[in-house]
Each structure stands twice: as structure tokens, then as C-alpha cells.
Amino acid sequence: MAVKDLNAEQLAVYKWQQGLHGSFFSNLWKAIIQADGGNLNALEKGFPDEVGGYKKYAWESGWWKGVQEKAGK
């Protein structure tokens, strides 16, 4: 497997964790991490892959490890 095999949510989180994005997405991730429930839902409307991936990263046990394995890390 490789990075090209990741779905959109997995790729968004992978890029965040690897620091593979510019200043806009760096700031977006800061906002996602700090957002409360209502604001997180609002952010999800515009950035469903990033927020959906973050929710899985933060709340689904083993999800991130699976992404790393799929990406070949």
C-alpha cells in the first residue's frame, strides 16, 4: 500500500501529521483541534474530509495506526 491508496479523510490527516501542507491548512488544523462541538460541526460543512478524519483520528481507537500501515509508514 502507499499514500495514493488513502481515502480523502485518511490523506487529510496523514498530510497534517506529516506536516505536508501550507500555512492555510496549518491554521485550519489549529482551528479544528481547538473547536468546540458546535464550531467543529460548522467547520465540517466546509472541510468534511479534514474534520471527519480528525474525528476518527481523535476518537476511533486504532484508526491512525491503520492509516499509517496503509500508507506504508
| Tens digits of pLDDT across the chain (73 residues) | 588 899 999 999 999 999 999 999 999 999 999 999 999 999 999 999 999 999 999 999 999 999 999 998 7
**0.75 exceeded by pTM:** yes
Burial of 53 (0-12, 13-18, 19+ CB in 10 A): buried
